[in-house]
Structure 1
C-alpha cells in the first residue's frame, strides 16, 4: 500500500493526465475561437474580452479551491485522510455558493460590464448576449473548478482528464450544430456558441460530482453538505487568500491590458486573442508539469520529506522549461499556417507575424515563474508570490503596457515587451526565494524537534543544512 501511494504521486503519473486534460480544455477554447471566427472577427474580439471578465470573476471561488487543493495534498501526505475529506467538502460547497451569486450578477449586469471595458458600440450587443448566457452558468464553472482541483490533488489526475474529453466532444458537436445549423439545430451564431458552452459545462459538472462521491476512503453523503470546520477553513484561507490576490492581480492586470488593446481597435484585440490561443498550445506541456510539481511537492511536504520536495522544484521546472523551448521552436516554424487558418484579415495577420518573436521569448519566462511559483505555493509560501505579483504585474506588465503600447506608440509589440519584463522579473525572484528554503527549513526543524521530544534528545541544528545534502 505504501508503494502504491508513492507511485501515485510520481511526476509523470500526475503530469500526463493533467496535460491531456488541459490540452482538451484548450482545444475547447481553440474550437470556440476557430468556429467563432467563421461568424466574424468582431465576435472573436468579444469572446476574448468576455473570457477575461469571467476569469476575473473566477478568482472569488478559485481562492478557496486552490488553497483547498494544496491542503488536501498535504493532509494526504501526512496520512490525515478525514481532514482532507472535510477540506474537500467545504471547498466544493463554498465555491458553489459563490458561483450562484456570480451567475446572477453576470446575467443581470452583462451590458454594464461590457461598457466598462471600452468596447466599441457596435460590439456591445454581441458582448451582452455572450456574457449573459455564459455568465449565467458561472455556478457550473465554480463547481467544475472546485471538483477538478479536489479530485486532482488526491492523486487522481485521470478523472478530470476523462471529464475534459467528454466536455470537448459535446462542445464541438453543439458548436457545429448551432453555428452551421447542422443536425437539425437552429443557426444561432455567437448565441449558439454560448449555449454550447453552458451545456458542456453542465454535463462536466455532473460527471465530476459522480467521481467526487467516492474520491476519499469514506464516501460522500447529502449530510456532508453542511460539514464545516472553522480551523480547517482557516487553514484553507491562509494558503488560499494570497493565491487569490495573486490570481486577481494577474487577471485584473490582463483586463487592464485588454482595455488598452480595446482602445487600439478590434483588430489588435482579435490579434492578441489569436496569439494567446497559439501561445497556450505552446505552453501547455510546461503548465501541466508545473501543476503536477505543485501536487507532488505538497504531498512530500505533508509527508515530511523536505529534501525530496526541494529537489522536485528544480527537476520539474527544468523539465518543463525544456519542453516549452522545444514547443516554441515548433510554433515558430508552423505559426504562419496556424494563424492563417483562423483569419484571412491581412491587418490581423501582419500584427500576429510582427509579434511572433516576442510571443515566443515570453514562454520560457512564464515556465520559470510558474514552476518555482507553484513550488512555493505547494509548501504554503503564498504571500511572497502575492507581494511580487502586486508589484510586478501592475508596475511592469500593466504600467509598461500603457506606456509602451499607447504613449510610445509601439502598439501590440509594446504590450508584449511589458509582459516579457514582468514574467522574467518574477521568475528571477521566485528562483531566489526557492533557494532560500525558508519554509522547508522551518518544517524540517519542527520535524526534528518533534522527534527529539520523543527521544529526550536536544534540538540539533542540522535540519536546515541537511536539505542541501
Structure 2
C-alpha cells in the first residue's frame, strides 16, 4: 500500500471515475423518474418526497464514510498503512450497525415521517410503499458508501465506478420489467421501482465487498476488530459528526422547503423534482472535482505539504466554477427540450425553464461549497463549515424560501432565489476561511503504536 503514493495520484485520474460514478448514481434516480413519468406524474411526486427523507438518512450514513475517506487519505499520505487498514475495518462495522438501526426506524415510522412532510393525501399510499421498501433496506447503501470511500481513498476510483455501472443496468432493467410489464411481469409502478432499487443495491454490495477484499486480501484486520485502537473511532466521530451536521442541516432545510412547496400543490412538487433532476447533471462536475480534491488534499496534509494543498484547492475551485457556468448556460439553452423528456405539461415546462435560467447564477456559487468544504474537511477543519452552513441554510435559504415563495407568492422562483443567496454567501465565507490557512494546524494522523483498544 505504500506504493500508492500521492505522486501517482492526479486530479484527473481521481476525478473522471468519480464523475462517471456520480453520473451513474444520478442516472439511476433519473431512470426512476423518467420511467415513472410514463406511468404517473403523481408517482413521480410520491417518490420525490420519499427520496427527500431517504437523502437525510444517507447523510447519517455519510458521517462515517466521510471520516473514513479523510482519515485513510491522511494516513496513506503519512505512510501509515496499518492505521489506514484499521480505520477501514472499524468504519465498515460502525456503519453496518448504524445502518441496521436506521433501516428499522424507517420501516416502522414511515407514515409518521410522511405526515410530517404534509404531503397531499393522494400521494401517501405510493410514498409509504417506496419508503418502506427502499428505507427498510437502506443499511445496504450504508455499506456501499463506506466500501466505496475506502476504495477511493486508496486511489481505486475505477472499482467503485464499475460497480455503480452494474447497479444502474440492473436497476433500469428492473424498472422496465415492473413499470411496463413485458414478458408477463406484473405492472407494479412505484412498488416495482422500489424492489428494483433494493435488488440492484444488494447485488452491488456483494460485488463491491468482493472487490475490496481482492484489492486488500491480507491488509484488513477484520479478526482484530475489538482490539483495534480507540483513537480511530474517536477520530471518525470527530470528523464525521460535524461533517454530517453540515449535510444534515442542508437536507433538513430541503425537507422544510419541500414542505413549503407541498403546500403549493402537487404540480409544484413535480416541477421541483424534474428541475433538480436536470440540475444534478450541471453540478456533478463540481461534485466530482470536490471529491477528487478531497482525496489529494488528504494525502498532502498527511505528508505535511500544506502549500501544495492550498494551491490545489484554489485551482480546483476555478476549474469547478468555470465548468459549472458553461454547463448551466448549455442546459438553459435546451431546457424546454429537457423537460419535454419528462412531461408534456406546459405549466411545468414553462416554470422549469425559468428555474434552469436562474441556475446559471446558482451553480458557480455552489462550486465554492462543493470544493472548499471538501478541502477543509480533508485538512481536518470540520467545524467551521457546519456553523456557517447551519446559519446560512436556515437563516437565508429556509427563511427566504418561505418569505419569497409563500408570503410574497413567488412560488418556486422565490425558492430558487433563496438558494442562490445561500450558496454564494456561504461559499464566499468558505473561501475566506481557506485563505486564512487556519486549517494547516489541524489533522488527525496518530502514532500506529497506540495501545488503547476498542
1:332 is aligned to 2:371:
no
Q: What secondary structure, in the 3-state scheme, does the structure 1 residue paired with 2:182 have?
A: coil
Alignment correspondent of 2:373: 373
Root-mean-square deviation (CA, aligned residues, Å) is 1.7
How much does 1:416 deviate? 0.3
Q: Could you tell me the TM-score, scaled by structure 2's length?
A: 0.94
TM-aligned CA distance change 1:442 to 1:177, over 3 Å: closer
TM-aligned CA distance change 1:16 to 1:408, over 3 Å: same
Query: How do residues 19-418 of structure 1 correspond to structure 2 at under 5 angstroms?
Result: 19-216=19-216, 218-220=218-220, 223-226=223-226, 228-418=228-418
TM-aligned CA distance change 1:403 to 1:216, over 3 Å: same
CA distance in structure 1 between the partners assigned to 2:439 and 2:329 by the alignment: 37
CA contact (8 A) 1:89 1:224 kept: no
User: More deviation in 208-217 or 421-430?
Assistant: 208-217
How much does 1:34 deviate? 0.1
TM-aligned CA distance change 1:426 to 1:105, over 3 Å: same
Which string of whole-angstrom CA distances, capped at 9 and with x for unpartnered residues, describes residues 221-274 of structure 1?
Answer: 652554543111111111111101111100100101111111111111110110
CA contact (8 A) 1:385 1:430 kept: yes
Alignment correspondent of 2:451: none
CA contact (8 A) 2:50 2:130 kept: yes
CA distance in structure 2 between the partners assigned to 1:441 and 1:66 by the alignment: 20
CA distance in structure 1 between the partners assigned to 2:4 and 2:353 by the alignment: 49
How much does 1:195 deviate? 0.3
How much does 1:372 deviate? 1.2
Q: What secondary structure, in the 3-state scheme, does the structure 1 residue paired with 2:18 have?
A: helix
CA distance in structure 2 between the partners assigned to 1:97 and 1:441 by the alignment: 33
CA contact (8 A) 2:332 2:353 kept: no
Aligned length, in residue pairs: 444
CA distance in structure 2 between the partners assigned to 1:3 and 1:359 by the alignment: 43
Structure with the greater alpha carbon radius of gyration? 1
TM-aligned CA distance change 1:306 to 1:232, over 3 Å: same
Q: Could you tell me the TM-score, scaled by structure 1's length?
A: 0.92
CA distance in structure 2 between the partners assigned to 1:96 and 1:165 by the alignment: 23
Q: What secondary structure, in the 3-state scheme, does the structure 2 residue paired with 1:355 have?
A: helix
- Structure 1 gap ranges (5+): 447-469
CA contact (8 A) 1:87 1:232 kept: yes
CA contact (8 A) 1:298 1:379 kept: yes
CA contact (8 A) 1:61 1:94 kept: no
CA contact (8 A) 2:73 2:298 kept: yes
CA contact (8 A) 1:18 1:288 kept: yes
1 or 2 for the larger relative contact order (CA 8 Å, sep ≥6)? Answer: 2
TM-aligned CA distance change 1:216 to 1:270, over 3 Å: same
- Structure 2 gap ranges (5+): 446-454
Which string of whole-angstrom CA distances, capped at 9 and with x for unpartnered residues, describes residues 19-62 of structure 1?
Answer: 01011111111101100111111111111111110111223221
How much does 1:217 deviate? 7.2
CA contact (8 A) 1:39 1:190 kept: no
CA distance in structure 2 between the partners assigned to 1:278 and 1:292 by the alignment: 23
How much does 1:400 deviate? 0.8
Q: What secondary structure, in the 3-state scheme, does the structure 2 residue paired with 1:118 have?
A: coil
